[in-house]
Amino acid sequence: MSLNDYYIGIDIGGTKCTVTYGTDKMDILSHYQFATHTEKGPSFAIDEIKKCLAILEKSYDFTQLKSIGISCGGPLNSEIGIILSPPNLPGWDDIPIVDIIKKATNKPTFIQNDANSCALAEWRFGAGRGYKNIVFLTFGTGLGAGLILDGKLYAGTNDNAGEVGHIRLNSNGPSGFNKSGSFEGYCSGSGIAKIAQIRAEEKLNIGQKVSYCESYDELQGITTLQLSKLANAGDADALEVFDISAKKLGYGLSVIIDILNPEIIIIGSVYARNPQLFNKLSVEIIEKEALKGAWSVCKIVPAELGDKVGDFASLSVAIDGYSRLN
């Protein structure tokens, strides 16, 4: 591709949306951001996106614009380009977003869920560069995976590939994906807070306290950010919470390693900011649980793109989609 190949990325989130104009070389030329205002329905955000696109069309030569990529939380149908009622976007029911953007721009338009989009971004621009078999784990509010297999995004029959958060790791435990003891229940921002709440309540029930919660009234206010700060400062109670999550991460990763035999597993968000809280115990579990041959060729690393991942994710959807047209 030449330096004259340009793309637009649209990231639709429950809190904010962004529209980015850039190149396949990570050059961000324009960036717009606005609040999604889900209470106003999808038409508000879609109209704002169209306004941003109109501004970009006046500012740049759209004859050089190759395609547009959309990153959005699932569920969705990437084949026909429809958003299917994501939990973080109430009211976005059966929205034909790809057709809407195509009609507004007359440009090829593609959509992927946020885990797949981030996998594409880390593969093209981040920790996954140069690898053919990659698993990207979100480890944010929830837990999902994006899969790059044999150098191509794998989304499954109907975009449900990579829903690893649904794997049950224990018969009971913190709930994620509406399933107690799930991978997401143990290994996500919301899950870690739930682990802490359970441990704190157990202590309070026998007349004891933990450093991060001294009364029942404080249980619902426990956050993973608060816990990570305490754990990184050496607080024993907070470290116990992360140790539970780290061990379950090891069990979950062992399943992924055995089934998919990846070269690299890239983990974002909570893990990427705190790998030192997870690595020792999770690796100890993997060394016991995973097939030796599969584990010997796999490494686990934090995501590289950090706060930039949203922009690069949606641009990566555009680049990947366009590459599959040719």
- Identify whether 1 is part of a domain: no
Do residue 248 and residue 294 come from a single domain?
A: yes
Do residue 206 and residue 116 come from a single domain?
A: no
Q: Which of 94-98, 260-264, 309-313 has the lowest mean pLDDT?
A: 309-313
Cα–Cα distance list, 257 to 140, 153, 250, 273, 290 (Å): 21, 17, 10, 22, 7
Do residue 173 and residue 39 come from a single domain?
A: no
Contact 287, 322 (CB under 8 A): no
Please tell me which residue, 86 or 97, carries the higher pLDDT value: 97
Cα–Cα distance list, 253 to 76, 172, 180, 190, 276 (Å): 26, 19, 18, 19, 17
In the prediction, which pLDDT does 87 show? 86
Instruction: Report the pLDDT averaged over residues 34-58.
Output: 96
Quick check: 222 pLDDT over 50? yes
Length of the chain: 326
Do residue 267 and residue 170 come from a single domain?
A: yes
In the prediction, which pLDDT does 308 show? 82
Do residue 21 and residue 156 come from a single domain?
A: no
- Identify whether 265 is part of a domain: yes
In the prediction, which pLDDT does 212 show? 96
- Identify whether 243 is part of a domain: yes
Number of domains observed in the structure of the chain: 2
Q: What is the C-alpha separation between 278 and 256, in angstroms, rounded?
A: 17
Confidence of residue 311 (pLDDT cuts 50, 70, 90): confident
Q: What are the pLDDT digits (tens) for 165-206? A: 999 999 988 988 889 999 999 999 999 999 999 999 999 999
**Residue 293 belongs to domain spanning:** 134-303
Do residue 36 and residue 112 come from a single domain?
A: yes
CB atoms inside a 10 Å sphere around CB 156: 12
In the prediction, which pLDDT does 108 show? 97
Instruction: Report the pLDDT averaged over residues 53-72.
Output: 96
Q: What are the pLDDT digits (tens) for 102-122? A: 999 999 999 999 999 999 999
